[in-house]
Structure 1
Amino acid sequence: MGAIEGMDVGRFGVWTFDFEDQPASMMRESIQELEELGWPAFWIPERDGREAMTHAGFLLASTERINVINGIARIWSREPRWTQGAALLLADAYPNRHLLGLGFGGGQPGAKPLQAMSDYLDEMDAATSANPLPKAPMRRLLAAYGPKMLELARDRSEGAHTYHVTVGHTAQAREVLGDGPFLGVEHAVLFETDPGKAREIAREHLHVYFTTKYNIAKFLRLGYTEADIDGGRGSDRLVDDLVFWGDLDTIVRKLHDHLEAGADHVGIQVLGIQPGQSAMPRWRQLAEALLPQRAAE
């Protein structure tokens, strides 16, 4: 399957919103511990004001080995030439450690995602700069779900990043991408064995995705029905497919299903952490179970 030349992001990584509201000192301590635990990749979104490129730069400067991946940098947050310039600087400063994940990110009213992304890439590729080119190349990844965007990711980037999808979608995405391009899949997990409690927490996280048109359309294309959407609540079947809950062994087994379906890498998002608390205990457990260097110790 796919690989990113010169980068080793491993089979599993950390994907989290947690750093969106943490002070810099806490972010630094957390990512340094994740690096020591052996996590090879750290995925960051762009949602509540943490600007994607400075965020990535801070995390790279705080560490020595871990790869930092934008999952995603929104194309509406900055002009293409500035994204290109920032990514080139990070590639120069931290060779083979930064992967620029680009996404539509909700977009602008009336904009067509595929055309907007294609135009953005055109402008990035046409941008000129007096800054020296890095010795290690700048690499980019596209957030993609539908076949046309997956084809664009295949043809104009290292591959695709998917978010809130099922194992079935991973198999479909691999078929579109073919064997060469990279496929990185985010999946949420929840350490809760009580079905009622687990689904309640999962539904709270998923509600916004069950109430936005383009996400609903995504789930319907996967074969779910309006009854599965359930007015924004989500059926047990849909909730269970989007959030892997249970004990450690159950979660680990389900995460491997994505790899068997064609993913190269799974970015794991831990849910169920109370405000002001850290998910680090869960990352430690997952590191022991998923990372080969930890298992060998």
Structure 2
Amino acid sequence: MHNGAIMVDGLGEFGVYTFDFERQPVARARESIQELDELGWRAFWFPEVGGREAFSLAGTLLAATQNITVVNGIAQVTARSAPAAHGGAALLAEAYPGRYLLGLGIGQGRPGVKPLSVMGDYLDELDALGKVPRVLAAYGPKMLALARDRALGAHTYHVNVDHTARARGVLGSGTFLAVEHAVLFEDNPATARAIAREHLHPYLTTPFNIAKFRRLGYTDDDIDHGGSDRIVDDLVFWGSPETVVARLREHREAGADHVAVQVIGADDTMPHWRLLGEALGGGR
């Protein structure tokens, strides 16, 4: 897994995370990622929730760029067999050396599905076909330990800074930790929190995510009725680009190797990526 370790080191401190390319016309997605590449962003993360197949979209974005690393964040293990995932990931890793990273996860919790056993069995099947560098979506200590022992590391989504510190404690000092975090460039507290609550609504109303937030220490009062100011401010960093960057650096200080930043509250996110890139300077 040595080459994979080199690759995650090359992702930089901060990257782009977006759902945008799940719904944009392909021509616009190509133009957008080409600009991100030219702006100096070193990592681009995208989920698999909007209907576009994870490996096909990754290949499309890799073919359009020269330097940026494309990361599945995540490819759902329930969406395809392990041999299919291995075939797709191995092809992209060979075609674009050092520029593709497989991120695996269960996705939304499903009744009767035990995430730890499902992921363990899936990794067994993958490893029987040959090693492909990968990270795992992980929150609880057991899944984080699996990411430590059987992958390059972990990728978390919609967690607070305290969780990042806990995750680093489980992973130890030598394992990669990437943290997604949502941001919003809005200075007015009422406006910012209203937009953030709209974004968080699907997460604050689904059992899998509610259980995660309770494990993070939030109460029913924090989770119900759209979310308390505390949980909203912890899960969506808002304010000026400088304020947002300072908050994002808290994840780095807590132990994250890389922070994948999701801009919300804008139909066109590219101007915000330009602003954020300027505010981060060489941090990408």
| Same-fold status (TM-score > 0.5) | yes
Aligned amino acid, residue 279 of structure 1 = T
> What is the total number of aligned residue pairs between the two structures?
280
SS in structure 2 of the partner of residue 199 of structure 1: helix
Q: Distance in 2 between matches of 1:4 and 1:254?
A: 27
Separation in 2, partners of 1:270, 1:201: 12
Shift of 1:109: 2.5
8 Å CA contact 1:76–1:107 kept in 2: the answer is no
Counterpart of 2:70 in structure 1 is 68
Q: Distance in 2 between matches of 1:107 and 1:237?
A: 25
Q: In the alignment, residue 154 of structure 2 is paired with which amino acid? A: A
Deviation at 1:293? 7.8
Q: Within 5 Å, give how 1:118-197 maps onto structure 2.
A: 118-127=120-129, 138-197=132-191
Task: State which of 248, 253, 265 in structure 2 corresponds to 1:255.
Answer: 248
> Partner residue of 1:100?
102
User: C-alpha deviations, 1:265-291, integer Å up to 9, x for none?
Assistant: 0000001013xxx21100001111113
Q: Which residue of 2 aligns with 1:131?
A: none
**Residue 264 (structure 1) shift:** 0.3
Matched, 1:292 2:277: no
Three-state SS of the structure 1 residue aligned to 2:78 is coil
- State how far apart, in whole Å, the 1-side matches of 2:171 and 2:281 are: 26
Instruction: Could you list the structure 1 runs, at least 4 aligned residues long, displaced by more than 3 angstroms after superposition.
Output: none
User: 2:58 is paired with a residue of what secondary structure?
Assistant: helix
Deviation at 1:78, TM superposition (A): 0.7
Any conservation in 1 of the 2:12–2:283 contact (CA below 8 Å)?
Answer: no
Partner of 1:243: 236
Partner deviation per Cα, 1:214-243 (whole Å, 9 max, x = no partner): 211111111111111124x11000000000
Q: Partner of 2:79 in structure 1?
A: 77
Going from structure 1 to structure 2, the CA distance change for 1:206 and 1:6 (only over 3 Å counts) comes to closer
Residues 4-29 of structure 1 show CA distances to partners (whole Å, capped at 9, x for unaligned) of 32440000000000111111110110
Q: CA RMSD in A?
A: 1.4
Structure 2 residue runs of 5 or longer lacking an equivalent are: none
Residue type at the aligned position of 1:91: A
Whole-angstrom CA distance in 2 between matches of 1:293 and 1:256: 10
Tell me if 1:279 matches 2:269: yes
Q: Is residue 14–residue 258 contact of structure 2 (8 Å, CA) maintained in 1?
A: yes
Q: Do 1:184 and 1:265's aligned partners in 2 also have CA atoms closer than 8 Å?
A: yes
- Are the counterparts in 2 of residues 39 and 291 from structure 1 also a CA contact under 8 Å? no
For each residue in 1:36-89, what CA deviation from the matched residue of structure 2 results, as whole angstroms up to 9, or x when unmatched? 000000001000111000111111111011000000000011100010011111
Q: Does 1:49 align with 2:54?
A: no
**Structure 1 alignment gaps of length 5 or more:** 129-136
Query: Residue 187 of structure 1 contacts residue 267 of structure 1 at CA under 8 Å; is this kept in 2?
Result: yes
TM-score scaled to structure 2, two decimals? 0.96
